[in-house]
Structure 1
Amino acid sequence: MQKVRIKTGLFIIVTFCWGCFSCKQTPQKNAYVNNLGIPPAEMAILDRINYTQIKWMDSVKAIGNVFYGDTVLLNYVFKNMGETPLFIVEVKPSCGCTVASYPKQAIMPGETGILQAKYTSEGFPGNFRKFITVKSNTKNGVYHNLQFFGILSKDSLPHQNKTYSK
C-alpha cells in the first residue's frame, strides 16, 4: 500500500512539473540573435527572403540659415512596415562635418526608430546639401539616401558655436 502511495505521489509530482515547465517556452522575438558572435544585423542582411519594409517619415530636411561653427541636430524618423525585425546595418554621411547615430538593436514590426545626424557647419558661405546613406535589411531598397540642405550665412565668419535642433 505504501508503494502505491509513493508511485502515485511521484506520478503527481512529475505530471505537475511537466505541465508547469513544458509550456513556458516563449518564442524568440528576434530570430537573428545567436551565440556564435555574429551581430544580428549582419545575419539579417544576408537573409534576403525575410527582408522587411521601411518607411521614412522625413528623408529630406531644409534647415535654413546656419552660422559658421554652429551644430545642428537632425532626427530622421522611420517605421518598420514589414513583418520581420528591421536592422540599420550601416550609416555613412557624405562628409566629415556630419556624424550619425542610429539604433543598433532590432526595430520590431510596427515600431519606429530615430536616426540622429549631427551637422557642424564649416566650409564656404552659401548653399549646401549633405547626404547620409543608410544600409538596412529592407526589400524597398537596401540603401536609402537621407539629405538636408541649407545656407551657410555669409555674415557668419565669427564662430557662433551654438547647438540647436531642426
Structure 2
Amino acid sequence: MKKIILGLSVLCLIAFTSCKENAAKKIDDNNVAAAAVRDASASKFPVLEFDKKEHDFGEIEAKTKVKTTFTYKNSGDAPLVITDIKSTCGCTVPQDWSREPLAPGESGTFSVEFNGSGSNKVSKTINITANTEKGKESVKITAFVKPDPNAKKPSVTPTIKAQ
C-alpha cells in the first residue's frame, strides 16, 4: 500500500512540475497573422458564370453532327481552375477548354459537339468540375432529332393464322 501511495505521489509531482509554462505565452503573433490571412483567402472562391446555361440546336437530321460554344467568366475573387468537363453520354463531346487558371474577371470558352443520335426531343447535360464553392456546375444542350430519311423502315409482313 505504501508503494502505491508513493508511486501516485511521484506521478502527481511529475505532472504538476511539468506544466510550469503558460500555454498562452507560446502563441506567436506572426503565426496568428498568417493564419488570419490564410483563413480570409480560403473563403474566397471563383464564381463560374455562363453566357447561356442551355443551347437549343432546334430541329436536326439524325446522325448530323452539330457544335456550339459556351462562353464562361470568372466573376469570383480567386483564380478559376476547370479540372474536367464531361457529358452524360458518349454522343456529346466537350472539348477545347483551358486547363490553366483563369484570373478573376477573365473569360474562356469550351465547345460541345453532339452527333445527332437519338430521336425526337433529346436533352444532354454537360458537367463542369471546377474549384468553385459547389465544385460542379452544369450546362445543357437540347435538340429535336428528326428520323433519318435514308434509314431502312422495318417491313411489315402480314401473319396468317391457321384455322
Q: TM-score, normalised by structure 1?
A: 0.61
Asked whether the equivalents of residues 68 and 158 of structure 1 are also in contact (C-alpha less than 8 Å), the reply is no
CA distance in 2, matches of 1:87, 1:74: 22
CA distance in 2, matches of 1:67, 1:79: 33
Q: How many residues align?
A: 110
- CA displacement, residues 75-119 of structure 1 (integer Å, 9 cap, x when unaligned): 111100012211111111011101111211111111111121111
Say if 2:119 is the partner of 1:118.
no
Say if 2:83 is the partner of 1:89.
yes
Amino acid corresponding to residue 136 of structure 1 in structure 2: A
Change (3 A) 1:72 1:54: same
Unaligned 5+ runs, structure 1: 1-46, 160-166
SS, match of residue 105 in structure 1: coil
Asked whether the equivalents of residues 77 and 114 of structure 1 are also in contact (C-alpha less than 8 Å), the reply is yes
Aligned-residue identity in percent: 21
Asked whether the equivalents of residues 66 and 113 of structure 2 are also in contact (C-alpha less than 8 Å), the reply is yes
CA distance in 2, matches of 1:48, 1:114: 26
SS, match of residue 83 in structure 1: coil
Amino acid corresponding to residue 64 of structure 1 in structure 2: G
SS, match of residue 96 in structure 1: coil
Asked whether the equivalents of residues 79 and 112 of structure 1 are also in contact (C-alpha less than 8 Å), the reply is yes
Counterparts of 1:1-166 in structure 2, within 5 Å, are: 49-101=43-95, 102-123=97-118, 125-139=119-133, 141-154=134-147, 156-158=148-150
Q: TM-score, normalised by structure 2?
A: 0.62
Moved over 3 A (4+): 47-50
CA distance in 1, matches of 2:51, 2:142: 17
1:48 Cα offset (Å): 5.5
Q: CA RMSD of the aligned region, Å?
A: 1.8
CA distance in 1, matches of 2:128, 2:50: 11
1:152 Cα offset (Å): 0.3
Change (3 A) 1:145 1:48: farther
1:51 Cα offset (Å): 2.2
Q: Over alpha carbons, which structure has the higher Rg?
A: 2
CA distance in 2, matches of 1:135, 1:50: 17
Unaligned 5+ runs, structure 2: 1-40, 152-163
